[in-house]
Amino acid sequence: MIKKYFPFLLLAVSAAVVCASCSSSHSVDQLKIGVWASEKNLWDEAVFRWKKVLLADPNSVAAHNNLAVAFEKKGLFDQALKEYETALKLAPDNAVVKSNYQNCKENIQPTAKKEEEGKKGKDEKK
């Protein structure tokens, strides 16, 4: 159960850690608003805020990681993986991003298995 929500817990931590190194107070504000929105399950707003950060700072590891979490929450797994991979390219040793990326991949596997099993069942009925 904790594993399922672990990326979201790490979201706030990663934003706080990276915010300390952000050069623009505007980006920090947008990161914080995005975290607030995510805590309220306002994922579209969070995505909007974190995309604004990336427009100002395309190398923001926190924004890429947080955006990946939001995409994952919205069921947009391909986009989530892409954002995690971008964050990992920028910060290959970032334990938070590594953990979130791994959890995302693990969460996708059961979904893919269920879809595959559903297709097999339909094919057998034909």
Spell out the domain ranges in the chain: 2-125
Supply the pLDDT for residue 108.
Answer: 87
Rounded Cα gap, residues 92 and 86, in angstroms: 10
Supply the pLDDT for residue 17.
Answer: 47
Handedness of CA 3, 78, 49, 40 (dihedral sign): negative
pLDDT tens-digit readout, 19-43: 444 456 888 999 999 999 999 999 9
pLDDT tens-digit readout, 57-109: 999 999 999 999 999 999 999 999 999 999 999 999 999 999 999 999 998 88
- Identify which has the larger pLDDT, 9 or 89: 89
Cβ neighbours of 66 (radius 10 Å): 31
If we measure between CA atoms, which residue out of 67, 78, 26 comes closest to residue 44? Answer: 67
**φ/ψ (deg, to 5) at 92:** -60, -20
- For the chain, first and last CA: distance in Å? 38
Q: What's the fold here for domain 2-125?
A: 1.25.40
Q: What is the DSSP letter of 24?
A: -
